[in-house]
C-alpha cells in the first residue's frame, strides 16, 4: 500500500531538507509564505595527498549527479535544469509573482524558472487556508 506523503516547510528547508520537501506527493508539497528553501551542491572539506583529494572530489561529483537525479524524479524537471539551479547555493522564496504554468514547467508544486533561478511560490495556498 502506497500512502501519499504531505510535506510542509515552516521557516526553512535547507540542504537535505529541501530534498525531503520535494519528495512529498505532487500537490501535497507546501510551504508557508515567509519560509525559505535552499538548494545547493554537496560540499566538503578535504586535505591530504592529491590522490586522496581526487577520490573525494570524484565522490562529491557522483553524489551531486545522484541528488540531481532524485530531484528530477520528484519534480519532473530535467537533470540539467536541476544541475544549473543547484550549481550555486540559492534560496527559493515567495518574492516573485506566480505566472501561469503548465505541469511540465513546475518544480516542486509552485516553482518557476526566472532569471536562471527557481523560486517557490505559495502565498496563495496559505491565503486559501485562512478564514
Catalytic amino acids?
Answer: 15, 40
Whether residue 71 contacts residue 116, with contact meaning beta carbons closer than 8 Å, is answered with no
- Residue 110 has phi, psi (to 5 degrees) of -140, 50
Which among 128, 85, 122 has a CA at the least distance from the CA of 7? 122
**In sequence order, which residues have a C-beta less than 8 Å from that of residue 99 and are 6 or more positions away?**
112
Amino acid at each position: 500500500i502506497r500512502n501519499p506523503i504531505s510535506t510542509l516547510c515552516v521557516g526553512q528547508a535547507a540542504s537535505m531538507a529541501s530534498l525531503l520537501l520535494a519528495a512529498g506527493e505532487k500537490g501535497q508539497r507546501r510551504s508557508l509564505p515567509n519560509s525559505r528553501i535552499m538548494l545547493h551542491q554537496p560540499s566538503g572539506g578535504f586535505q591530504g595527498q592529491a590522490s586522496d583529494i581526487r577520490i573525494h572530489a570524484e565522490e562529491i561529483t557522483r553524489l551531486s549527479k545522484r541528488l540531481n537525479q532524485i530531484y528530477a524524479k520528484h519534480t519532473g524537471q530535467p537533470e540539467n535544469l536541476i544541475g544549473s539551479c543547484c550549481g550555486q547555493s540559492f534560496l527559493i522564496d515567495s518574492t516573485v509573482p506566480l505566472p501561469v504554468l503548465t505541469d511540465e514547467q513546475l518544480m516542486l508544486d509552485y516553482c518557476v524558472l526566472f532569471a536562471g533561478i527557481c523560486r517557490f511560490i505559495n502565498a496563495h495556498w496559505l491565503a486559501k487556508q485562512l478564514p
